[in-house]
Amino acid sequence: MNTEKLEFHTGMNYPSLFSPLQIGPYQLKHRLALAPLTRMRAEKPSLAPRPLNAEYYAQRATPGGLLIAEASPVMATGYGSPGVPGIYTEQQIAGWRKVVDAVHAKGGVIFLQLWHVGRVSHSSFQPGGVLPVAPSAVTIPPDLKTGTADGKAVTYETPRALETSEIPDVVDAYRQAAKNALAAGFDGVEIHGANGYLIEQFLQSHTNLRTDQYGGGIENRTRFLMEVTQAVIEVWGASRVGLRLSPYGIANGSGEPDPMPLYSHVVQSLNPLGLAYLHFIEPRSSGAGRAEVNHQNVPSAMVLFRPIWKGVLITAGGFTGETANAAIAAGHADAIAFGRIFISNPDLPRRLQRGFPLTPYNRATFYGGDVAGYTDYPAHDELAQA
């Protein structure tokens, strides 16, 4: 890969993708982040990252550039798909340390996304083959299919509602996973509160029918998120903790009927905590992990919530270099995370800065497999020499 340095412009009137940005204690040299991307290529059965994963992240690292590593279950019940790396065993911590070291060797900054899928799972992934857990026993509609551990397409099962007394253990699993991420050498963690997974299942009214202190009104539905966030902050300090949300998203059977009151409350509750950043998935790209989408006539998360959120705002979803620069210059967002085009362009920052053409991605190799569609996308200069 070309080692020529990216050029950074600090003297312009408006910030761009290539202006510096302070996130917590980190002085980023540009504002183009790698979005968290599930790639299902961890070692089996340990579910520990392996050298190939380190190579993939190192390919995408740039000096002072932020990478958000893929969603990683905080405990064994948090799984819903095969080959996803975890962050709750010694072997997984050791595997992640190699990833982190490879990114740090290139001067990159790397956060890990902490995950529990809740009902977006199947009993074949669960310890003992029991039903997945969720805030309430509400099934994902049958038009959405999932896969079993041996690869059969099935409809989702009805999850088991967590007992009130079990919830502190789940919060503790996030706390322990945060400690594990610290032990692995990460620079910070991002809590996955998006895309219809456990935290969002607590937040949204149709998946949370609880009558205890974790259900009912908006404040109660926000309680689990706040407890998880506090637990992770106790480990890391708020300035190295980010949070991802997907208001107006429809992924994995999610969708709050009236998102504004809920998410305004969430964002306002987060404001005093001093988090490193808040990270949105733009509704237009909700479900981009499953299919090509470009939802029309949907609101923009950054536009709606920028006036409410007091900290650094990252957003993602269908951006090009041009639209990312425009969003940053307009003040809608401080940084843009790129997913799909960062998969197929390991040197994306340089390509966008130079206006080099982009390599299209191959959706067939997004999930699972090995080198193909993972570490074999060439950098621009390798293409030029071919």
Among 338, 346, 351, 380, binds ligand FMN (CB under 6 A): 338
Distance of alpha carbon 191 from alpha carbon 176, whole angstroms: 13
Stretch that binds ligand FMN, among 91-99, 157-165, 174-182, 313-321 (CB under 6 A): 313-321
Q: Of residues 122, 244, 306, 380, which one binds ligand FMN by CB under 6 A?
A: 244
Among 17, 31, 62, 70, binds ligand FMN (CB under 6 A): 70
Instruction: Tell me whether residue 67 or residue 138 sits nearer to ligand FMN (CB atom).
Output: 67
Residue number of the CB closest to ligand FMN reads 339
Site for ligand FMN in 104-143 (CB under 6 A): 113
Binds ligand FMN by CB under 6 A, chosen from 111, 236, 366, 377? 366
> Is 21 a binder of ligand FMN (CB under 6 A)?
no
The site for ligand FMN, by CB under 6 A, has a size of 23
Q: Does 56 bind ligand FMN (CB under 6 A)?
A: no
Task: Report, in Å, the least distance between residue 306 CB and ligand FMN.
Answer: 18
Pick 137 or 326: Cβ nearer ligand FMN? 326
* Binder of ligand FMN out of 81, 239, 285, 325 (CB under 6 A): 285
316 sits near ligand FMN (criterion: CB under 6 A): yes
- Residue 189 lies near ligand FMN (rule: CB under 6 A): no
State which of residues 30, 122, 192, 332 lies at the interface with ligand FMN (CB under 6 A): 192
Residues involved in catalysis? 197
Q: Which of 6, 28, 37, 54 binds ligand FMN (CB under 6 A)?
A: 37
339 binding ligand FMN? (CB under 6 A): yes
State the residues that interact with ligand FMN by CB under 6 A: 35-38, 70-71, 113, 192, 194-195, 244, 281, 285, 288-289, 316-319, 338-340, 366
